[in-house]
Structure 1
Amino acid sequence: MKQLAMKKKQASSNGNHLKRAFFVLPPLMLAVIFFLQLQTALGLFSSISRIVSQPAAVDDLVGRLRASATFLPLKDTRRRSEEWFISTLDDASEPEGEAKNLVFPSPASRGRVLCLAAPSRHDGAENAYALAWRDALPRGAALRPGIAFVSETAYDHSNLWHGLTALIPFASWHARTRCAVRPARWALFHHGEVRTRWSGWLAALAEATMGNNMTVETFEKPEPVCFEQAVVFRRNMEGLTRERLLGAFDFMRCKARAHCGVVDDVPSRAGSGGLRVTLLFRTGGRAFKDEAAVTRVFQKECARVAGCTLATARSDNGTFCDQVRLMSATDVLISAHGAQMTNMLFMDRSSSIMEFYPMGWRQRAGGGQFVYRWMADRAGMRHEGSWWDPNGEPCPRSPDILSCYKNRQIGHNETYFAEWAARVFAAAKERKTTTSFREATPEERRREETTCNCI
């Protein structure tokens, strides 16, 4: 019995020790953790103090970062044509449905900004780009504040059609950002070669769309230029969905009308019921041989349609806003193939286009002669067909339209023109009359309400 009592007493004593250990252990562990954290903090503070107390170490680090910005050829001739420009990065449709683009800084650039050394206007392979951290730019580089819109195209920024295809993705991107970010400057490239301007028409359109003046980076100095932010389109409209493309045309059209103060000058455009026809003549190449005869044909057919009025104008006579006003008041555009047809941008959706060509274009011009057919489709308009003049002297020794066919003048066929105009005018009148008496669909109301607003 005595031994049993001693064992119970010992067991009780062990239990008390365990209980005391249980209560003591947590504070002890917290003390150990606090000690370790304190040591870590003291070590970090000591390291920072050493660095701060040694400016040379900081300068050395920044110098190493500067040196890490490696310049590569802006035009990489080893890659496919659509990858020539800034070839080390893949572009993406961001947001989804937009044209493929590159954004700097971004996760893809690891937070680095875009720097360009671009003195050459003749060889894109002589120009170069690099990615750099904003606080460690390449030596001598100038940092441009704000966002830069950088356009690379295989075509021509001065040509109205080609320039428009380069501008559209920027307009769509700008609208999708709710117009919160306006470009501080533009940088224009053709196969990596610097371009310093767009045509006056395109510059005016860009300014109307973006809401600020268009400043083009010239890269005149040999030192690199770095952009605080940049968005790059190097494939024009590739990647844009049809919905976004139509929205971009609507947005640019409305912005141009508002810029020129013509939004309220054309009341009830969609439902007026009247038909407005415009004959847009060219001067020189691809002009009609007998403008008076062509005018009489279309004037006669217009007179057969109730409420139809016909106006004549010249493509080289008028300011940008004059052209916006004219096309805003046009339901049917009649014109020879040429840059002036790009003004169809300012016509309402479902408007009609009638196009004319000199002899030789159908056989020699290739797919490029259909650009305004494509534009009409992309802008939601109706290309009502084309007429190729079958008469004229052939060019057996010169298959190139640039040397023989391109700028020939255009004849006319009174019977064909009259029958063609009668069909187009009647259909256009019917569409306008029907529109004026029906209620707009929810989709049409949403589009009208948001066209000039940022999407």
Structure 2
Amino acid sequence: MVKTGGLSKQRSFSLPPGSYLRGAVLFLVTVFLVLLLLQIQALRRPSQLSPPSSAWDVLRHWEQALPGCCGDCARKLESATSRLRDAVTFLPLKNATLEDTAGEGTTWFMSSLNDTYEGDEGAQYLRFPSSASGGKLLCLAGNHTRDGTKNSYATAWPDALPSGAALLPGLTFVFDNYYGYDNIWHGLGAVMPFFGWHRNRGCPLPARWVLYYRGEVRAAMAYWVRKLAEVVLGQDLVVEAFEREGASRPTCFEEAVVFRHNEGVMSVRRKMEVYDMLRCKARAFCNVTSSSSSEEGGKTTPVVRMTLLLRTGARSFRNESAVVDIFRTACGRFDGCRFAVTWATKLETFCDQVRALSGTDLLVSAHGAQLTNMFFMDRNSSVMELFPKGWLGLAGPGQYVYHWLATSSGMRHRGAWRDPNGVACPFPGEDLRCFTQYYKDQQVGHDEAHFSNWTAAVLGQAREEKLGRVATGGGRPRRGQPSGCPCG
């Protein structure tokens, strides 16, 4: 069931009166039918139509009157179309009056339009043309990259587009993201609703994408996000940045779908379905097999594959070698644990990342964008996350994004360790400058006893999960295949 609604009090689509156009069209149709009937009658009985009062005189009268009449109708139609074209009103893409509450979910992008909700747990979006848009198309104007209030939008009838407007054929996906597209976590959040809509709508392919950051035009996104989209769609990603010749004119789209709330109202079940599709498509593209068990002496034994994923620079470990030794030793004490260590900077390609995470059942890493790769692991795999000092009290809800991602993608977030030690902040109390200038990117320490005990507990949980999977036949090697993936 599709219903419409809004997150704030917004104006709905409105339809201009159409009775004038309908009357003119009806008049033309009536004239045509009268002429046709008279012509048929004349052909059947020509001898009876010779008197002056015959239908031939009536026909001649209509023929003499018709040019002036139809010319008048044509002029009226042209006038009505011109008025509709002139009535198209462009509004700022970014409603600055709602800027203070944009981070709380207020719709400030195309704020006059209400979303369509896809069921109780689907995506929320705008679609043009549709019944909600009254059959109108979406038109955009401006290519400003620093001020979203200088870019604008409007809706228009297909036969009354703004003067000089270009009409782009095919399906266009339009995104607005509050956080940008350079960070892979933020970029993934922006395109997730598209992947969900794409999956549940028969897998339509867009001719182009239009990217906005707070109403500002963007021409690119992070390599990882772009590659993921290309793998899922099976085609190159075309981004329309309105840089072509004549792009200063309004641009209208034959069909467009707009996403402006990231994951928005998507349910956990729907998100999990989408992540399953992304995992399947990525593994198929990279020709990756995930094996959850080993064969030893004819007996299937569950193997827990543990990966320590290291960062360089911000939020790296102060004593990296000590941390590696602690986790390697903890894994070595556990029967069936296989340990690997790698650096995020060494996973240079998309498929490098897919392979590394597809071969992981327990991921250990400091908080950071590299954790976005976790959904390439098998469902029910585990994540251990580590933080520098100061994050708990000052980082806000953003510190929990990978906990949310684990839940949404079917993983098990096994908790977080927060370093109690670190640099001192000279500012008093919970001054946010402590976080932005001192805590956010500082290095992470270690606690050998805690890390060892924590790892042992998580390995035990992971092995129990693996045993259950092997018992139900779920421990066999799996390879994503295009034919087995949604939208394959």
TM-score range, shorter chain: 0.7 to 0.9
Q: Does 1:421 align with 2:443?
A: no
Q: Does 1:249 align with 2:283?
A: no
Bigger mean CA offset, 356-365 vs 195-204: 356-365
Partner of 1:148: 172
Correspondences of 1:225-240 after superposition (within 5 Å):
225-240=251-266
| 1:219 shift after superposition | 2.0
Bigger mean CA offset, 349-358 vs 288-297: 288-297
1:408-444 deviation digits (Å, cap 9, x = unpaired)? 111111111000000001110121122101256xxxx
Q: Does 1:325 align with 2:351?
A: no
User: Which whole-Å CA distance do the structure 1 matches of 2:408 and 2:337 have between them?
Assistant: 27
* Partner amino acid, structure 1, of 2:323: V
Structure 1 SS opposite 2:329 = helix
User: Which whole-Å CA distance do the structure 1 matches of 2:381 and 2:180 have between them?
Assistant: 27
User: Which whole-Å CA distance do the structure 1 matches of 2:362 and 2:71 have between them?
Assistant: 73
| 1:44 shift after superposition | 10
* Partner amino acid, structure 2, of 1:364: L
1:51-83 deviation digits (Å, cap 9, x = unpaired)? 479865554444333223211121223456322
Structure 1 326/338 Cα, relative in aligned 2: closer, same or farther at 3 Å?
same
* Partner amino acid, structure 2, of 1:84: W
User: Which whole-Å CA distance do the structure 2 matches of 1:174 and 1:336 have between them?
Assistant: 33
Which residue, out of 330, 339, 345, partners 1:310? Answer: 339
User: Which whole-Å CA distance do the structure 2 matches of 1:269 and 1:139 have between them?
Assistant: 65
Structure 1 451/334 Cα, relative in aligned 2: closer, same or farther at 3 Å?
farther
Structure 1 96/391 Cα, relative in aligned 2: closer, same or farther at 3 Å?
closer
- Structure 1 contact 113–229 (Cα < 8 Å) conserved: yes
Larger Rg: 1
**Please, what TM-score do these two structures have when normalized by structure 2?**
0.78
- Structure 2 contact 423–438 (Cα < 8 Å) conserved: no
- Structure 1 contact 194–218 (Cα < 8 Å) conserved: yes
User: Which whole-Å CA distance do the structure 2 matches of 1:235 and 1:38 have between them?
Assistant: 50
User: Which whole-Å CA distance do the structure 2 matches of 1:269 and 1:194 have between them?
Assistant: 48
User: Which whole-Å CA distance do the structure 2 matches of 1:285 and 1:368 have between them?
Assistant: 17
Which residue, out of 202, 210, 216, partners 1:178? Answer: 202
Q: Does 1:76 align with 2:87?
A: no
Structure 1 449/190 Cα, relative in aligned 2: closer, same or farther at 3 Å?
closer
Partner of 1:25: none
- Structure 2 contact 292–466 (Cα < 8 Å) conserved: no
| 1:314 shift after superposition | 0.9
Structure 1 419/59 Cα, relative in aligned 2: closer, same or farther at 3 Å?
same
Correspondences of 1:19-418 after superposition (within 5 Å):
41-42=33-34, 50-51=69-70, 59-79=78-98, 81=102, 82-179=106-203, 181-220=204-243, 221-262=247-288, 265-267=289-291, 273-317=302-346, 318-397=348-427, 399-400=432-433, 401-418=435-452
* Partner amino acid, structure 1, of 2:260: R
User: Which whole-Å CA distance do the structure 2 matches of 1:243 and 1:449 have between them?
Assistant: 22
Structure 1 438/117 Cα, relative in aligned 2: closer, same or farther at 3 Å?
same
- Structure 1 contact 185–217 (Cα < 8 Å) conserved: yes
Structure 1 451/408 Cα, relative in aligned 2: closer, same or farther at 3 Å?
farther
Structure 1 148/313 Cα, relative in aligned 2: closer, same or farther at 3 Å?
same
Structure 2 SS opposite 1:311 = strand
Structure 1 SS opposite 2:273 = helix
| 1:267 shift after superposition | 4.0
1:270-320 deviation digits (Å, cap 9, x = unpaired)? 997111111110011110112211111111121122221111111112211
Q: Percent identity?
A: 45
- Structure 2 contact 172–206 (Cα < 8 Å) conserved: yes
Q: How many residues align?
A: 411
| 1:41 shift after superposition | 3.0
Structure 1 SS opposite 2:460 = helix
1:382-419 deviation digits (Å, cap 9, x = unpaired)? 11111111112210226421211111111111111000
Structure 1 121/39 Cα, relative in aligned 2: closer, same or farther at 3 Å?
closer
1:91-112 deviation digits (Å, cap 9, x = unpaired)? 0212552121111000111111
- Structure 2 contact 284–481 (Cα < 8 Å) conserved: no
* Partner amino acid, structure 2, of 1:330: T
Partner of 1:23: none
* Partner amino acid, structure 2, of 1:429: R
- Structure 1 contact 332–354 (Cα < 8 Å) conserved: yes
**Please, what TM-score do these two structures have when normalized by structure 1?**
0.83
Structure 1 SS opposite 2:364 = strand
* Partner amino acid, structure 2, of 1:254: C
| 1:363 shift after superposition | 2.6
| 1:135 shift after superposition | 2.8
Structure 1 373/321 Cα, relative in aligned 2: closer, same or farther at 3 Å?
same
Structure 2 SS opposite 1:115 = strand
1:100-138 deviation digits (Å, cap 9, x = unpaired)? 111100011111110000322222221111111223321
Structure 2 SS opposite 1:404 = helix
Partner of 1:8: none
Q: What is the aligned-residue RMSD (CA, Å)?
A: 2.8
1:4-59 deviation digits (Å, cap 9, x = unpaired)? xxxxxxxxxxxxxxxxxxxxxxxxxxxxxxxxx98893289979975479865554
- Structure 2 contact 151–216 (Cα < 8 Å) conserved: yes
